[in-house]
Amino acid sequence: MNPPSPARAARQPGGETTVVRELVKRARAAMRAFAAADQARVDEAVTALAWSIYKPERARALAELAVKDTGLGNVESKIVKNQRKTFGCLRDLLRVKTRGIIEEDKAKGIIKYAKPVGVVAAVVPSTNPAATPVNKAMMAVKGGNAVIVAPSPSGQATTVRTVELMRDELAKIGLPVDLVQVLPPPVDKALTQALMEACDLVVVTGSQNNVRRAYSSGTPAIGVGAGNVPVIVDSSADLDDAAQKIAASKIFDNATSCSSENSVVILADIYDAALKALEGAGGYRTSVAEKEKIRSTLWTDGQLNRRVIAKDAAVFAREAKLAPAAAKARFFLVEDSDPGPGTPFADEKLSLVLSVYKADDLGDAIRQVNAILAVCGKGHSVGIHTQDLGHARRLAAELDVVRVLVNQAHTFGNGGSFDNGLNFTLSMGCGTWAGNSISENLNYRHFINITHLVTVIPEDKPSERDLFGTYWDRYGK
């Protein structure tokens, strides 16, 4: 009798453990076979994984499948995401060492050796069912690890196909295909939980429920926080430039990105002019009555309505019964006030709805941004359009966020860009403010362990007076 298929085995009582155990066994075998690979061979593997999705016809096919699979976003944006994020990540990874000695500090007598972390469980979201698995696999394999991908149930077909393409590329260059595997369908919480408990590191992008489950799995875990990006437009901003960047960022992939602007806070003295610029960039300024229609359409029973989130503007306008002109817009401007708990428009919307707030001055704008982040998105990021770098520095000093982007289209800059210094990633850590273990963009360093070779150096021991002298002089012994 043939053994049951992985999918059938997973449906049997306790079958999740059996399925995952076999996947992990194969992953460890692949890592052993890969262990002798030098840096050039590792980089070849990473390049192969990048090409699996970057190749134009594949980038399009996976984008089309993702939209069909999930009903979220749009094809052209997902093509850009599949290629741009992958290309940028490959650039970053090919510039660093992860094999053997990666750093030597002669003054301290320390030499650092990179080692794999082990088998990585990569939990991925429905919003990026192709780009995120490749992004994480590239980083994991760069560290000499194997990765097992846990798809979102609604993006499962896309993720499975993506993993097939990665495995094909590894086979083409003669490397173990089991360096990259995927949970067999149908994926559910029990199977994903079993994977998180069996691996050596869990890296989760997606729902905060999954992040919390990862942190409680008993396995070292890296999770990311929820997005809900507010952006300030101050009096010195180039309003047309700001409006064009906000619009391009907002409409990208129908606002599925966690880095998409959800609110814009505009200083009072340029409020009308800024709104006019946003309208010129394709925004539709809703009436009070239409605001209520949007509210009742976007949220049903306190939850975001899947019939309108991440959908084209025409679909949203039809569902919300907005005026005919709204269907021709690129996004919707909803004017709101006093953001905070109990004000839904201050929350993450995953749609082409941009909340607009008026602030008396920069201090008031910061107060409102804090109120927005208290609703959702604390720790993630904010943006500012300004010609006064002092204003940007004030945001960085006063706000509990990991990233403050200046004069940038937030969606294109927050996860790394060719014109800023952030690492390319699809997973943005948000610090302890969001209950995360990292406060930077996920990158290759999170996928390596480091052994420190420590040798004797000339003694570096100051005197008691050197260390305590100032204290003694001020307060006595």
Residues belonging to the active site = 258
DSSP character for 424?
P
Q: How many CA atoms lie within 13 A of 264 on its CB side?
A: 32
Tokens for 360? Answer: 């008396």
Length of the chain, please? Answer: 477
Query: 119, 147 in Cβ contact below 8 A?
Result: yes
Query: 403, 414 in Cβ contact below 8 A?
Result: yes
Q: How many CA atoms lie within 13 A of 295 on its CB side?
A: 16
Task: Report how far residue 208's alpha carbon sits from residue 227's, in angstroms, rounded to the nearest whole number.
Answer: 11
Angle in degrees, 0-180, between the axes of helices 131-142 and 156-172, rounded to the nearest 10: 40
Residue 418 main-chain phi, psi, to 5 deg: -80, -10
How many C-beta neighbours within 10 Å does residue 335 have? 17
Task: Report how far residue 63's alpha carbon sits from residue 74's, in angstroms, rounded to the nearest whole number.
Answer: 8
- The burial class, CB within 10 Å (0-12 / 13-18 / 19+), for 64 is middle
Q: How many CA atoms lie within 13 A of 391 on its CB side?
A: 24
Alpha helices in 97-147 (DSSP H): 131-142
For 303-347, the DSSP string reads: EE-TTTTT--HHHHHHHHT--GGGGG-SEEEEE--S-STT-GGGS
Nearby residues of 52 by Cβ (< 8 Å), 6 or more positions away: 58, 134, 162, 165, 166, 168, 169
> Of 259, 345, 338, nearest to 298 (Cα)?
345
Task: Please name every residue paired with 181 in a beta bridge, in sequence order, or none if there are none.
Answer: 148
- The type of residue at 257 is S
Query: 81, 255 in Cβ contact below 8 A?
Result: no
CA 73 vs CA 63, 161, 271, 306, 318: distances in Å: 9, 18, 30, 12, 17
Distance from the Cα of residue 36 to its chain's centroid? 32
